[in-house]
Structure 1
Amino acid sequence: MLDAVLRRRIDPPVARLAALLVTYGVGANAVTVAGLVIGLAAAAAIALGSPLLGLMLILLSRLCDGLDGAIAKDTRPTDLGGYLDIVFDFVFYGAIPLGFAVLNPAQNALPAAVLLLTFYANGASFLAYAILAEKRKIATDVRGTKSFFFSTGLAEASETIIAFCLFCLFPGWFPVIALVFAGMTAWTFAARVWLAVRTFG
């Protein structure tokens, strides 16, 4: 929901930083891998009781997630790069709730499980739609140039990062925030299924 608004503000400085990295020979796939490693380190920091360190690592990881696409545009986008980007994003999205579940299983395990279920369902609806959109040659640039079709929704990347930041800033409120965000994600899943019914039915 917020991705389109935030991209207009974030993309220009990210593009400038990406251009600088390209001059030093930094490749897009290397940045994608670095983003995943940093994201997993964030989850580990959270699990070990350092959510504020986790917050800083989450933000650094997501900077890498923005940089890899910008670097690819300045060099040569590849199918492998698009594949790694989306797969590693989903690994990261699952790792952060898992970190909070490990941090406090008694309080956080069930809300984290509910959130992960909605992530799983929403991810499946997103990727399945992208596959069929490609089959039918349906295209969109509503989220910029991507390797595959991006269907929009209430819970997108920006909302996910905001939720993760709130988890880290208010770890005692993780169950409430996680369940609210799970509701938003479930709504997005339902909206994408309805879109598929209208488009492919």
Structure 2
Amino acid sequence: MLDHWLTHSKFKESYEKLVQRLFRNKISPNHLTIIGLILGLTSAASIFLSDVFSLLFIVFYIISTILMALSFLFDTFDGVIARMREPTKFGGILDIFCDRTVEVSIIIAFVSTDPISLLYPGLFSLGGMVLCISMFLLSSIELNKSPEEEKAKIISYRKGFMERSETLIFFLLTNIIYICRSLLLWVFAILVLLTAFIHLIQTFKDLNSEKR
């Protein structure tokens, strides 16, 4: 929801101009994607280490939160630069691969800090993500994209209830409010599963309307 709103807000133009000034002709979108991946994996490792080295919990806690936010930030940078230079199919695929790798790694890291309490909410979160990304990809393949979407993205998503921005918010909250990790992961899992179900229903309606 937030991604869709931001895409159509005045903030988008100002933000994209700033990113273009910072990175234009300096680094490729794929390199930005890889940097985001490295930051995300390092954040996940920091979450894991915060439980292993309990005396340094606060240090790893702060590091993981900062790196997580930076990882998601770089994920927005690559899209801006890609649209400026003309996006590629491999770039879109690499972006999806890196996004999901970071998200899965962070959830596994959360579970590792308290396997007894977080195992099931973690499993349901991962299962929900599999269903959700499957619906995103299938609906983007089956449904025709508008000319504007074709120019903007190689891989196009329909707007959803739980998108990248909402995922960042939930992950940051789950990391920061660590005493509520089980509850937050359950809520995240339910919302992601609900998003997948909503996409299934909407795709069914859209495909039926195309036949008429």
Question: CA contact under 8 A between 1:122 and 1:186: conserved in structure 2?
Answer: yes
| Structure 2 match to 1:2 | 2
The 3-state SS of whatever aligns with 2:160 is: coil
Counterpart of 1:166, as a letter, is L
Percentage identity across aligned positions?
27
| In structure 2, distance between residues paired with 1:95 and 1:5 | 27
1:116 paired residue number: 126
Name the residue aligned to 2:88: 78
| CA displacement at 1:2 relative to structure 2 | 1.5
Q: 1:199 aligns with which of 190, 202, 206?
A: 206
2:24 aligned counterpart, secondary structure: helix
Q: Secondary structure at the match of 2:206?
A: helix
The equivalent of 1:95 in structure 2 is: 105
Residues 147-170 of structure 1 deviation map (CA, whole Å, 9 limit, x = unaligned): 222111211111111000101111
1:25-174 correspondence to structure 2 within 5 Å = 25-49=26-50, 50-133=60-143, 137-139=144-146, 145-174=152-181
Q: What CA distance in whole angstroms lies between the structure 1 residues aligned with 2:141 and 2:40?
A: 27
User: What residue ranges of structure 2 are gaps of 5+ in the alignment?
Assistant: 51-59
Equivalent residues of 2:83, 2:153 under 8 A apart: no
1:46-76 Cα offsets, whole Å, 9 max, x none, are 1111233211111111111011111112223
Structure 1 portions without partners, runs of 5+: none
Change (3 A) 1:54 1:194: same
1:108–1:175 contact (8 Å) kept in structure 2: yes
Residue 21 of structure 1 corresponds to which residue in structure 2?
A: 23
Runs of 4+ in 1 over 6 A off after TM superposition: none
Amino acid at match of 2:20: A
Total equivalences in the alignment: 196
Instruction: Give a deviation string over 1:111-144, Cα, whole Å, max 9, x none.
Output: 11111111111111111111212xxx333868x9
Please say if residues 139 and 149 of structure 1, whose CA atoms lie closer than 8 Å, have aligned partners that are also in contact.
Answer: no
RMSD across aligned positions (CA)? 1.9
| Letter paired with 2:191 | M
Q: Structure 1: which amino acid aligns with 2:160?
A: G
The two structures have a TM-score, normalised by structure 2, of 0.85
Q: Which residue of 1 aligns with 2:56?
A: none
Counterpart of 1:48 in 2: which secondary structure?
helix
Query: Is contact 1:35-1:64 (8 Å) kept?
Result: yes
Q: Indicate how the Cα distance of structure 1 residues 123 and 20 shifts in structure 2: closer, same or farther if over 3 A, else same.
A: same
Structure showing greater Rg: 2
Larger helix percent:
2
